[in-house]
Amino acid sequence: MSSRKGIILIGALAGAALGATAAWAYVQAQEKGASAGGRQGGKPALKAGVPELFKIGMALLSVMRQIAELVR
């Protein structure tokens, strides 16, 4: 395997691990909120609105830009 493919594979695995960890944390928070009466009509209450999701997206773009700068 070439070093390029190896780096891409490592990045993909790291991204998958980070995504799975974030999803696990989200589910844990939703279950904790549900047990405390945080559910509305059987659906989990999503507390993150558009501004928060936008901030997360911008932070992710910033991290990706920093990684690209490391490569240069």
The Cα-based distances of 25 to 3, 21, 31, 61 in angstroms read: 33, 6, 10, 21
pLDDT per residue of the chain (72 residues) written in tens, 0 to 9: 788 899 899 989 998 998 899 888 888 887 887 776 655 555 555 666 788 888 988 998 998 899 889 888
Those residues whose C-beta lies under 8 Å from the C-beta of residue 61, and which sit 6 or more positions away, are: none
In the chain, the DSSP E strands lie at none
Per-domain residue ranges for the chain?
A: 3-71
| Tokens read off for 3 | 């070093």
Q: Is 43 helix (H, G, I), strand (E, B) or coil?
A: strand
The reported pTM is: 0.56
